[in-house]
Amino acid sequence: MPELPEVETVRRGLAPVMEGQTIERADVNRPDLRWPFPMHMAERLTGQQVERLRRRSKYILADLGSGETLLIHLGMSGRMLVSGDPLGRFVHDHPAPEKHDHVVLHMGNGARITFNDPRRFGAMDLMATDGAETHKLLADIGPEPLGNGFDEMILLEAFRGRKAPVKSALLDQRIVAGLGNIYVCEALFRGGIHPARKAGRIGAELVKSLVPIIRTVLEEAIEAGGSSLRDFKQADGELGYFQHSFDVYGREGQPCKRTGCDGVVTRIVQSGRSSFYCPVCQR
């Protein structure tokens, strides 16, 4: 599933052709994805101006002139693809419709935004913009790791007395928003923390050091265009390439990249997910 950097990359790709533009027509080609679409979704989107495109955790939120917000979740294989972009950043010709083009937004500037999702694990919903944070998918999400609401004291308090492994704690969206398996593995490597170590047993200074590390890992991934794993693509169709910079993720059996370390990257399974780490560097 795309993590925060992938979703932020898609949001940034969509913003220039959606913000301030009107959805002249919305085509909704099936009744549902992971869950049923809201009633009359096509009619509620058609004719609305996209006033702002923002992100909350792994969700893209499009605030509309109608006072509603379109929530978009990419799921496992969802892609938002742009064609006909008048800014000249994407391919101008609209491609022929594909089998899994489930929602298509025809913008007033000539751009076409296509939500394509072969596995249909993605989602879309409409909600009132005022109070959107109370939506069932957003209500319990913690602070954004790149925002001012995420700091050392927040993480210290979240870890205090916690018996769960630190890997599981950082994946808990109630503690911090948007982190997934990839970037937690990378952050823990940079912090020198074993993924199975109990969160509540990590010293305060080490916990505090994780905050800037997490931010740096995410910022580097966003700058690189997100990670390309399986189906993820940016809004312009290009694959991300941060995966070429992974220190541990997916590198089982390969030498540790840290200078002077003779460790070999190891993989363990935690709660059904692979954790990659260096047993020498991470304690």
Which residues are known catalytic residues?
A: 2-3, 58, 273
Structure tokens at 270: 């935690």
CB distance 192 to 281 below 8 Å: yes
In degrees rounded to 5, what are phi and psi of residue 196? -90, 0
Place of tokens 């990590």: 202
Task: Collapse the DSSP code of 201 into the 3-class scheme (helix H, G, I; strand E, B; otherwise coil) and give the result.
Answer: helix
CB distance 267 to 195 below 8 Å: no
Place of tokens 């076409």: 112
Structure tokens at 171: 């994946």
CB distance 90 to 47 below 8 Å: no
Structure tokens at 250: 């997916």
Structure tokens at 9: 């990359």
Smallest CA-to-CA distance from 58 within 30, 81, 78 is with: 78
HSE-up of residue 267 (Cα within 13 Å, Cβ side) = 12
The rounded distance, in Å, linking the Cα atoms of 220 and 227 is 10
The rounded distance, in Å, linking the Cα atoms of 199 and 46 is 48
Strand partners, 270: 273
Pairing of strands 59-64, 68-73: antiparallel
The rounded distance, in Å, linking the Cα atoms of 119 and 243 is 23
